[in-house]
Amino acid sequence: MADEVPGTSIKPFRRRPWWHLGLGVALKDSRRRDADGVFIGYAGYGVTDDEVRAWVTALYETELAARGVRYVYAVRGPADVGYDARELANSSLVEDLLPRMAASERPVLVAAHSSGAFVACELFEQLFLGDFDPERIAVDRVVYFNLDGAQGCLDEAAVGQLHQLAFVDARGPHGVSLNAPSMAEGAHRFPDALHLTHDARASGCAPGGRMCLHVTLVNTRPHDPISGNRTADYTDFTDRPVNAFYLSAVLGPAAR
């Protein structure tokens, strides 16, 4: 497995335990001695704990391990589309995250799909606009990938303290993903941000399948050509590779 270290007894990533940090938030430590990077994955509306953990596990095994990531946070989807209840334990995540950031020089990678972007906005409010980080450890350390999600919730002052911001959408043979216009708007609103488009021509998405294209930012071949299938698309990556193109587009090829 990608996270095995020669001469150690480290378990493969998927066999290591998840640690519950608070409602909807879990952490997995690969226990790699040669890595100290951090990844945070925010899932879309309604995505369960098990589903988001399957998604970030697929990302770790195919891409994140090669990028020096050791710690992976998985955050389930909000209970409502706009995250109005603000029920998830982002504050517990921040408290756990900051000491890990202080011990590393690598950027923290954050990817939020769909409504998970509202939850990511809350994270940035806490990191950059609240009192959680008085030593300013997180400033210029976070690379944020907004995967066809909400962007109106982003605060300009918080964005100014990110290291990099990328708005990511998808284009297939029959159109663009659900929130592609919003991704273009975000890139216009924040001129230093990147606007990336996933080539989803091989996704199998049908005419009218904007939601299917939306899902291609997680699973490159969604299970339903019109709307996708939330559980299957977050958990079944057999012959349907997890989408990680945005990482290489911003960070360059991973060392393998």
Tokens of 86: 């603000």
Q: pLDDT confidence of 255, banded at 50, 70, 90?
A: confident
109-134: pLDDT as tens digits: 999 999 999 999 999 999 999 999 99
CATH of the domain at 113: 3.40.50.1820
The distance from CA 207 to its chain's CA centroid, rounded to whole angstroms, is: 27
Query: Measured on CA atoms in the order 82, 185, 164, 127, is the torsion positive or negative?
Result: negative
- Determine the pLDDT at residue 9: 44
- Alpha-carbon span 114 to 229, nearest angstrom: 14
- Determine the pLDDT at residue 119: 98
CA dist 5 to 31, 94, 103, 183, 250, Å?
A: 9, 28, 20, 39, 27
Answer whether residue 140 is part of any domain. yes
- Closest by Cα among 234, 244, 245, 211 to 53: 234
**What residues pair up with 249 in beta bridges, in sequence order?**
none
Q: How many domains does the chain have?
A: 1
- Calculate mean pLDDT across residues 235-248: 98
Answer whether residue 246 is part of any domain. no
CA dist 93 to 42, 111, 176, 223, 226, Å?
A: 12, 15, 33, 32, 35
pTM of the model: 0.95
Q: What is the 3-state secondary structure (H, E, C) of 3-59?
A: CCCCCCCCCCHHHCCCEEEECCEEEEECCCCCCCEEEEEECCCCCCHHHHHHHHHHH
- What range defines the domain where residue 194 resides? 14-204
